[in-house]
Structure 1
Amino acid sequence: MRNRFSFIILLTITCSVLSCKKTLTTDVTSLVPEANMWQVKNDARSAVFATYGLLRAALANSNAFMAYGELRGGDFRISSRQDLNAVLSNNLNANYSALEEWKDWQRFYAVIAQANLCIEKLQLVSKNDFRYRPEDLKLDIANIRYLRALTYFYLARIWGDVPLITTNAAGYFKGLPATPQATVLAFAANEAAAAVTDLPWRYDGTWPEQQGNYWNQNDDYWHSTVGTKASCYALLAHIAAWQQDYAMTEKYCRLVMDNSGNGGYTVATTSQLTAEDGVFKGKGLDVIFSLSFSADYQEASVSGHVEDWTLSEPFVPKKTADIYVPKDSVLAIFDEAGDERFSLNQDGTSSGNFFTNFNNSAPMFSKIKVRAITQAPVLRSYESAIIIFRYEEIILLRAAAAIRINDVSHAQDYLNMIRSQRGLGNLASKDGNEILSYILKERRRELLGEGWRWFDLVQFKQVAAYTTLSQTDVDNGATLWPVSKSALANNPTLIQNNFWKK
């Protein structure tokens, strides 16, 4: 199954493009007419993994994953690129091509269109090819529903109210108004809850939901790259937190943690977190779900990776990194002695691999550095996965949920699980508000550069405290992204998000 995502997109992308007509445009080099699809078992494989590939394309597009989840959070500074600086300064209506890409939700709706198409058409394969068993159909549909739920979760967090399209026939949504964010989140939660029933904990052939090898590959091949019960519960936990239903957040996090043995998850060591062949290659035992770029399947690339913005010499032949964390910010974030991620020694030297060349004016963020090694001349190419959910993040999410339901003791226990793994001592007993502040700080340290910081500030209601946006801006809708000009032009029923009506 060479190149698990990339080449199969070309087999089914026509279906997505035709379904959305002029509202979605995707350049392709090879097209297969829809009439020739849905005939044999391999058509189902192509359709399912095209959906995964489209989601990867949406989040990797011009490093959108970082633009949405990290840049606005304020921890990183920009060396020279004015388009990135516009995001950092919340000037999202600035005239840069990258901003126009990020404001346009068409790539996410390509995922939705493909998912809707699969849900409608995969059953045809079951009828046309006896090798595609009912249990295969059920498992593939569960994967698709998980992806549809995850995609709508991104859409709702980034843009708020968005069109909710649930059928292939509704793919052309020129006159479809936006659906309230709360309704979209509820739909995503229902989809994830439906998917979890038919997904296994692992793809090792021992679970009733999945027997034998999934698409002729073993569990190691599929680790973290397809939907599982744990990835659905992680998604459900985050949706519940966004809905401020913290009892449900705690419940879903508990299901992940209580079944860590079934899923094969454990907390990564700090060395695994920063190793080139560790967590961010997508195969770490703490990784619950990721979108991979494995060089083994010719998926390594330059763009779409955090390293393209953060690394420079000596790791890659690039003089200056595009973004960096200033020294004063590093010291404010990592302010406890003994932190294995980064700490400053008494003699002024630093320890830990989150940063390189700390004494330079712009320390290099080197936590994530999964380079694809090529023959001379060396090419700047990376194979780091986009990590969507990992075990440590879920533990910290559970800690935050426990505080909100007044379970301070357990919240502190979960927080200390991460602290102790990173070389820090257990916190002494503190009140709930103090613990919540420590949880936000620990998420800042542990998840730096992983696309969580901005969403954490929004969810913890701390945007005004850590960014240039005022609380009045926040109340006026500044945390959302503006809807693109092309989306507004194609669909006259849409309304620009309030803060960006300028």
Structure 2
Amino acid sequence: MMLAASCRTKLDVQPSHLVPEQKMWTTKNDARSAVFSAYALLRSALADKNAWLVYGELRAGDFTSVSRGDLSAVTANQLTASFPALENWSNWRPFYAVIYQANLCLEKLETVHKNDFRYTEEEMKVDLAHVRFLRSLAYFYLVRIWGDVPLVTRAVSGEFVPLERAPQARVLDMAAADAQAAAQALPWKYDQQSPELRSQYWGQPSAFWQGVIAGKGSAYMLLAHIAAWRGDYLSTDKFARLVIDNRSKGGYALVNTTTLTGNGGVFTGQAEDIVFAMPFNKNYQESSASGHIEEWVLAEPFISKAQPDIFISNDSILRIFDEPNDERFKVTDGGAGVGNYFTGFGNPVPLFSKIRLLSVTGANPLRSYQSAIVVFRYEELLLLRAEALLYLGKTGESAQVLNSVRGQRGIGEYKGPLAGLANAILQERRRELLGEGWRWFDLVRFEKLEQYSRFSPADLANGAQFWPISKSQLSSASPIQQNKYWQQ
């Protein structure tokens, strides 16, 4: 966040906002507040104006805007159009707020340990691992969204000089180092059975924390994704296997389609397949209007709204769900749509209803939702490993892993040629993860943007796959330069 303004600007976000610096970092509760502030800042960065969905899904071509100009600009990849929301989404400041808070914790948690004997070394090491995971994840988002980004490893206060952008490779090196350190220090579960943490974490039982804070599995899964983004599929397979082979320790399992699309299932953030999610639990007054795909894709009969803001056309639905017996969605011989992924198939504007966790029942005039932002889940990990095995030349094993997900959704084994396995994996990711913020990043990683977007090879060489940088970060005093493609 400190990099978004001129060299004489003060920080906008004070992580210890209401507590004077000299009185902070003295008690165990200060440590808890600081660590969970970093989690809150990440959730805010992803939820604000549905940023997680905009970055990961809307540019990929599956969704169409009904009438909103800002969303139409995103789906058309016209990211420099004059809309306030586009300026907001172009601003990397929220992710740097996470990084600043993580850096502050890395520098100050030791002070709490020295000042308060109740804050044990064991607890401190786990908390340090949490903020390393969050810093790594924030940088991973930054690199995938903007490419080269400033690398900030220290907390600053007051006045500062903004930094130049660092190469992606260098940023990912640090993100991988952070995630590796987190993986070593975090437990698989918060059940007081792991050697990393024998005490009860902040006075809550294991079930309270399952999936909603980082554990060893989420750190290894992040490492697998960082490696895949770099094309290091040997490391992707290694880290994915660490999670898969220890799934009983982490409590991970495939879920059936009913759990995937049910109101009490995956998108509560605490189903068996959840490795890491950002919850919005109404029982803790966390439900909200923003940060949820339901805000844009639902209408009558779910909420009192005539039309959704975005939808997937009938033709696109048929292209995506092109195999019979798919429990997520299929079309009967009579032309009727069956499955919870869509409501009103055949209408001019069908509803994408895979995720529909309203905070109240009935018409819900408040339009408040409680679906979690699911960052990592077990089915996605299996599909990532199938991808890694494919590119390592292990096509038989790749197909076997792919089939484990396909079988769970009722479509059986892949019967096509091995030469088509890459497309089969990409298509299964498209179906399984639809609406979860993966599609654009998948197209980048599989090098399929030319096929699914208007971008040419020259455009991609100039960085069209990345977002433009916010105008507020391009002041005359800043060394930050606009991404080359968006200078046009």
Q: In which range does the TM-score fall when normalised by the shorter chain?
A: over 0.9
Matched, 1:498 2:484: yes
**Equivalent position of 1:182 in the other structure:** 169
Matched, 1:488 2:474: yes
Moved more, 332-341 or 367-376: 367-376
Q: 1:403, 1:26 → 2: CA distance? A: 44
1:60-139 pair list within 5 angstroms: 60-139=47-126
Q: Which residue number corresponds to residue 373 of structure 1?
A: 360
The 1:16–1:116 alpha-carbon spacing in structure 2 relative to 1, beyond 3 Å, is farther
Deviation at 1:241, TM superposition (A): 0.6
Classify the secondary structure of the residue corresponding to 2:202: coil
Q: How does 1:403-422 map to 2 (within 5 A)?
A: 403-422=390-409
Q: Structure 2 CA distance, aligned partners of 1:261 and 1:21?
A: 52
Deviations along 1:229-275, one digit per CA (max 9) or x if unpaired, are: 11011100000011110100111111111111111101111000111
The reply to whether residue 467 of structure 1 matches residue 450 of structure 2 is no
1:200 and 1:209 in contact (8 A); partners too: yes
CA distance in 1, matches of 2:451, 2:233: 23
Give me the whole-angstrom Cα distance separating, in 1, the residues matched to 2:66 and 2:93: 30
Is contact 2:189–2:206 with CA below 8 Å preserved after alignment?
yes
Aligned to 2:143: 156
Equivalent position SS for 1:387: strand
Q: Aligned equivalents of 2:322 and 2:20: distance in 1?
A: 58
List aligned pairs for 1:309-388, cutoff 5 A: 309-373=296-360, 378-388=365-375
Runs of 4+ in structure 1 off by over 6 angstroms are: 27-30, 374-377
Alignment of 1:270-309 (within 5 A): 270-309=257-296
Relative to structure 1, the CA distance from residue 202 to residue 490 in structure 2 (aligned partners, 3 Å threshold; closer, same or farther) is: farther
Q: How does 1:385-400 map to 2 (within 5 A)?
A: 385-400=372-387
Q: Give the 3-state SS of the residue equivalent to 1:117 in structure 2.
A: helix
Deviation string 1:289-322 (CA, Å, 9 cap, x unpaired) is: 0111111111100111111011111111111100
**CA RMSD for the aligned pairs?**
2.1
- Letter in structure 2 aligned against 1:479: Q
Which residue does the alignment assign to 1:9? none
Classify the secondary structure of the residue corresponding to 1:389: strand
| Cα pair 1:16 1:114 within 8 Å, conserved | no
Partners of 1:21 and 1:372 in 2: CA distance: 43
Secondary structure of the equivalent of 1:290? Answer: strand
Distance 1:412 1:376, change over 3 A: closer
1:477 pairs with 2:453: no
TM-score by length of 1: 0.93
Q: Secondary structure at the match of 1:98?
A: helix
Identity of aligned residues (%): 51
State the AA in 2 paired with 1:469.
Answer: F
- In structure 1, runs of 5+ residues without a counterpart are 1-12
Could you tell me whether the CA contact under 8 Å between 1:23 and 1:174 is conserved in 2? no
Conserved in 1, the CA contact under 8 Å of 2:3 and 2:163? Answer: no
- TM-score, structure 2 as length reference: 0.96
- 1:6 aligns to what? none
1:475, CA displacement in angstroms? 1.7
In the alignment, the residues of structure 1 paired with residue 231 and residue 460 of structure 2 have an alpha-carbon distance, to the nearest angstrom, of 17
For 1:7, the equivalent position in structure 2 comes to: none
- TM-aligned CA distance change 1:16 to 1:483, over 3 Å: closer
In the aligned structure 2, how far is the partner of 1:305 from the partner of 1:106?
21
Shift in CA distance, 250/28, structure 1 to aligned 2, threshold 3 Å? closer
Distance 2:368 2:146 in 1: 31
Partner deviation per Cα, 1:10-35 (whole Å, 9 max, x = no partner): xxx9x999xx9836424999622222
Identify which of 428, 439, 448 aligns with 2:415.
Answer: 428
Counterpart secondary structure, 1:388: strand
1:178-225 Cα distance to aligned partner (Å, 9 max, x none):
100111011100110011110010111110111131111111110111
Counterpart for residue 236 of structure 1: 223
Give the 3 Å change call, closer, same or farther, for CA 375–35 of structure 1 in structure 2. Answer: farther
Q: Deviations over 1:388-441 (max 9, x none)?
A: 00000000000000010000000000110011000012123632x311110000
Partner in structure 1 of residue 208 of structure 2: 221
Summarize the Cα distance change of 1:300–1:257 in structure 2 as closer, same or farther, 3 Å threshold.
Answer: same
2:241 is aligned with 1:258: no
Q: Distance in 2 between the 1:76 and 1:295 partners?
A: 28
Match of 2:444 in 1: 458
Residue 277 of structure 1, CA deviation: 1.2
TM-superposed deviation, 1:116:
0.3
Distance 1:91 1:451 in 2: 19
Q: Any stretches of 5+ residues in structure 2 without a counterpart?
A: none
Closer, same or farther in 2 for the Cα pair 1:27/1:392, shift >3 Å?
same
Q: Is the 8 A contact 1:24 1:109 kept in 2?
A: no
Shift, 1:176, TM fit = 1.2
- What is the deviation of 1:491? 5.2
Asked if the contact 2:303/2:363 (under 8 Å) is kept, the reply is no
User: Residue deviations 1:71-97, cap 9 Å, x none?
Assistant: 001100000000011111111111111
Tell whether the 8 Å contact from 1:264 to 1:285 is kept in structure 2 after alignment.
yes
Contact preservation (8 Å) 1:176, 1:491: no
Partner SS state of residue 288, structure 1: strand
Structure 1 pair 172–67 and aligned structure 2 pair: CA distance change class (3 A): farther
Structure 1 residues 190 and 380: alpha-carbon distance in aligned structure 2, compared to 1, 3 A threshold? same
CA distance in 2, matches of 1:397, 1:469: 25
- 1:473 deviation in Å? 1.3
Shift of 1:175: 3.4
Which amino acid in 2 is paired with 1:449?
A: G
Mapped contact 1:60–1:303 kept (Cα < 8 A): yes
Distance in 1, matches of 2:445 and 2:477, equals 30
Provide the rounded CA distance (Å) in 2 between the counterparts of 1:16 and 1:461.
30
In the alignment, what sits opposite 2:428?
442
> Which secondary structure state, in structure 2, belongs to the residue aligned with residue 346 of structure 1?
coil
More off after superposition, 284-293 vs 490-499:
490-499
For 2:15 and 2:173, locate their aligned partners in 1 and report how far apart those are by CA, in whole Å: 34
What is the CA–CA distance in structure 1 between the aligned matches of 2:452 and 2:365, rounded to whole Å? 39
Query: How much has 1:379 moved relative to structure 2?
Result: 2.0
